Amino acid sequence: MNESATDLSFLGREFLTWLWFKSEERDGTIMAPDVGDIGIIFFQKLILESGEGEYSETVACKGIHSDLNEGKAALRKGKKIKEARIKLGIESDECEFTFKADNFQIQTMKLPATLNMDEEEKDKEGRILERIYLTESAIGVMEKLFSLFLTKRISPTWNSEEVIRLKKWMRE
């Protein structure tokens, strides 16, 4: 089987672009079925790329106060999001992680503070279980968002509605 025929990295890159667009469309929230409003913010790090091998070009937007305008300019020039730092708000919990689009990999997840130090010594098992729960919740929300993206991506209105709004957002 031809490797390029099975390379689905474009799908992850489209997903991240769509996710960034959707988060800004509703001022940092996305409505997901069966979940409700999810807070999602792209911040501090955005890596975009076009081309392959020796012909690839990369743009990196990094920094605590980065507003990612260079990222939108790179999108307008045809680059795709390869990696992004995302802040995800689920109910009252908030976590941060880096999402690598090419292989749908989550890295360096920072979870919300859990039990306080006194309780930590008494209940290490509870703290570990809580951290597992928070990690699984974040991953589950990303899966639901990807499912929402796929549903929209294969719908007949993708090109006639969603892509038009996405292109308008890129020009802003």
Q: What is the pLDDT of residue 55?
A: 80
Question: What's the mean pLDDT in 38-62?
Answer: 87
Residue 115 resides in a domain: yes
Q: Residue 108 is part of which domain span?
A: 3-161
For tokens 């959707």, the residue is 22
pLDDT exceeds 60 at position 96:
yes
Cβ-contact 106, 142 below 8 angstroms = yes
Number of domains in the chain: 1
Residue 72 resides in a domain: yes
Per residue in 11-33, pLDDT (tens digit) is 999 999 999 999 999 899 999 88
Cβ-contact 106, 98 below 8 angstroms = yes
Q: What is the pTM of this model?
A: 0.86
Residue 118 resides in a domain: yes
Residue 168 resides in a domain: no
pLDDT exceeds 60 at position 135:
yes
Cβ-contact 40, 23 below 8 angstroms = yes
Residue 172 resides in a domain: no
138: amino acid identity, one letter: A
Residue 77 resides in a domain: yes
Helix, strand, or coil here: 112? coil
